[in-house]
Homo-oligomer: A and B are copies of this chain.
Amino acid sequence: MNVEIITIGDEILIGQIIDTNSAWMGQELNGRGFDVNRITSIRDTKEAIKNALDEALRRVDVVLITGGLGPTNDDVTKHTLAEYFNSKLVFNELVYKDVCDFLKGKVKDVNELNRQQAFVPENCEVIRNKVGTAPNMWFERKGKIVVSMPGVPSEMKAVMTEEILPRLDAKFETGYIIHQTVLTSGIGESILAEKLQDWEKLLPQYISLAYLPSPGRVKLRLTARVEDENIGKVKIKSLVSQLYPLIGEYIYGEEDKLPEEILGEMLLSKKSSISVAESCTGGRIGHLITSISGSSAYFNGGVIAYSNEVKMNLLGVKENLLMEYGAVSQEVVEQMALGVKQTLNSDYSIATSGIAGPTGGTKEKPVGTVWIAIAGPFGVESQKYFFGEIRDKNIQRASNTALVKLIRKLLINNI
């Protein structure tokens, strides 16, 4: 069953806000077997709204609209929908009561603009907005459904979850859509695709594959559309197991999670702690780890060892190591990992030292050279990487790769 989304508002088109509503709706719809065919963001004008609706209804049977329902004058959606469905706005006592109840204690008086919210097209079904003042409207005509919701994310999500999605579920019979993610790191998209060429050819028609790259990682996404949920799951499971002989050394997870989430869960379940010693990543790894709620249970902290003095004074890196091998070296990065693990009294540690660029490279150590070390009960291990010349990507790739390196070590050793 195909669905389209229309988001209304100049603030989206001029980039003042990012349209996060569509992504949330896409996820929810997709998870229930509805396909989002198109997302269209349009201006707050009668003409734009009518045209977009006309076009969408030519392609699909269900159109979900968000935005354009505020009380101020620049919102024309409601008037346009009344016209579009050959109806007129009428005062709705129940909506007015909802508006008054909602505003009680929030404003001194319910003003004329608020009162306008209670006017709704006569031929739509009003669906109450429990968390705002703009009512939701459900139109049906000739088997086609158009739903108009507020653009405020919390209001849209509330009515989608409680009313719209259950109604769509009940109305349309859809098959099942099963997603399976396989997380890889340490291999580029094109080499990965080459290794999977033969495997990809064996995918049945009802299963599609997508490569979703981000710095230092490529996420594979398998999507099956099936009548029988179990058969789909068994087939996907078997396909995923065939990936291990081909690219097993790059796989670090099968759930759609970030490396910092996966590592966090591993450390939590072990009741282990971690610390970081960051040179070229400059705090990014600490930031990623602490972006996860509850990370204080396993993250002790770290040292951003940007200067050599900090490497020596706080991490116990000997001056002669720095003199002999340089800061970007196996010797130094391993001592950084061991040093922070000991000083911060943690079970595991991660250390990075590299040349983030765009300057500072040499012939022997070009920009993008990064040493990454991990330490733990297994001792210390390190590896040299080349991440390219763009500072920002370099830092991101180094940080993600470092997290995945420890995840894979924990997976393999089961320690």
Nearest CB of B to A83, in Å: 20
One of A67-75, A89-97, A230-238 at the interface = A67-75
Could you tell me if B111 and A194 are in contact, using CB atoms closer than 8 angstroms? Answer: yes
Q: Would A193 and B113 be within 8 Å (CB), given that A48-B38, A291-B282, A301-B304 are in contact?
A: yes
Say which residue of B191, B213, B281, B300 sits within 8 Å of A309 (CB atoms).
Answer: B300
Whether A39 lies near B40 (C-beta < 8 A) is yes
**Known interface pairs A284-B287, A299-B306, A304-B276. Does A357 touch B12 (Cβ–Cβ under 8 Å)?**
no
> What CA separation (Å) do A393 and B155 show in the bound complex?
11
Contact of A111 among B190, B299, B357, B386 (CB under 8 A): B190
Residues of B within 8 A of A57 (CB): none
The answer to whether A300 touches B290, judged by C-beta atoms less than 8 angstroms apart, is no
Q: How far is the CA of A132 from the CA of B303 in the complex (A)?
A: 32
Set of chain B residues within 8 Å of A357, measured between Cβ atoms: 293
A20 to B386, CA, bound (A): 25
Q: Say how far A45's CB is from chain B's closest CB, in angstroms.
A: 10
From B14, B72, B278, B306, A190 is in contact (CB under 8 Å) with B72
Closest to A300 in B: B307
CB-based nearest B residue for A158: B390
Cα(A281)–Cα(B289), bound, Å:
11
Stretch at the interface among A25-33, A141-149, A316-324, A374-382: A25-33
Q: Is A395 an interface residue (CB 8 A)?
A: yes
Indicate whether A202 reaches chain B with its CB closer than 8 angstroms: no
- CB pair A306–B290 under 8 Å, yes or no, is yes
Contacts of A30 in B (CB 8 A): 13-15
Give which listed residue, B74, B299, B302, B359, contacts A209 with CB less than 8 A. Answer: B74
Give A21-65 as 1s and 0s: 1 = Cβ < 8 Å from B's Cβ atoms. Answer: 011111110100001111111110000100010010000000000
How many Å from the CB of A411 to the closest CB on chain B?
Answer: 24
Q: Are A43 and B48 interface neighbours, CB within 8 A?
A: no
Q: Is B395's CB under 8 angstroms from A291's CB?
A: yes
CB distance B43 to A40 under 8 Å?
Answer: no
B392 touches A154 (CB 8 A): yes
| CB-contact partner of A301 in B40, B194, B303, under 8 A | B303
CB <8 Å contact, B286 and A304: yes
A282 touches B286 (CB 8 A): yes
Known: A40-B39, A74-B210. A344 touches B310 (CB 8 A): yes
* A98 CB, nearest partner CB in chain B, Å: 13
Task: Tell whether, in the assembled complex, residue B41 and residue A14 are in contact, meaning their CB atoms are under 8 Å apart.
Answer: no
Closest to A25 in B: B15
Task: Let me know if A345 is at the binding interface, CB within 8 A.
Answer: yes
Whether A105 and B368, one on each chain, are in contact in the complex, defined by CB atoms closer than 8 angstroms, is yes
The yes or no answer to A294 lying at the interface (CB within 8 A) is yes
Question: Is A112 an interface residue, CB under 8 A from the partner?
Answer: yes
- Determine the chain B residues whose CB is within 8 A of the CB of A20 once the complex forms: 18
The answer to whether B154 and A211 touch across the interface, beta carbons within 8 angstroms, is no
Of B36, B70, B286, the residue contacting A278 (CB under 8 A) is B286
Question: Once the chains bind, are B11 and A105 in contact (CB under 8 Å)?
Answer: no
Whether B301 contacts A307 by the Cβ 8 Å rule is: yes
A212 interface residue per 8 A CB criterion? yes
Question: How far, in angstroms, from A284 to B287 measured CA to CA in the complex?
Answer: 5
Chain B residues lying within 8 Å of A300, measured Cβ to Cβ, are 306-307, 309-310
Are A190 and B358 interface neighbours, CB within 8 A?
no
A-B contacts, 24 of them at CB < 8 A, read: A12-B23, A12-B26, A13-B26, A13-B37, A15-B30, A16-B210, A38-B42, A70-B189, A70-B211, A71-B193, A74-B211, A106-B388, A111-B190, A113-B190, A114-B190, A278-B283, A283-B286, A291-B391, A293-B391, A301-B310, A302-B304, A309-B344, A313-B344, A314-B343
Query: Top 9 closest A-B pairs, CB basis?
Result: A283-B286, A282-B290, A15-B26, A283-B283, A15-B27, A301-B306, A15-B23, A39-B41, A113-B190
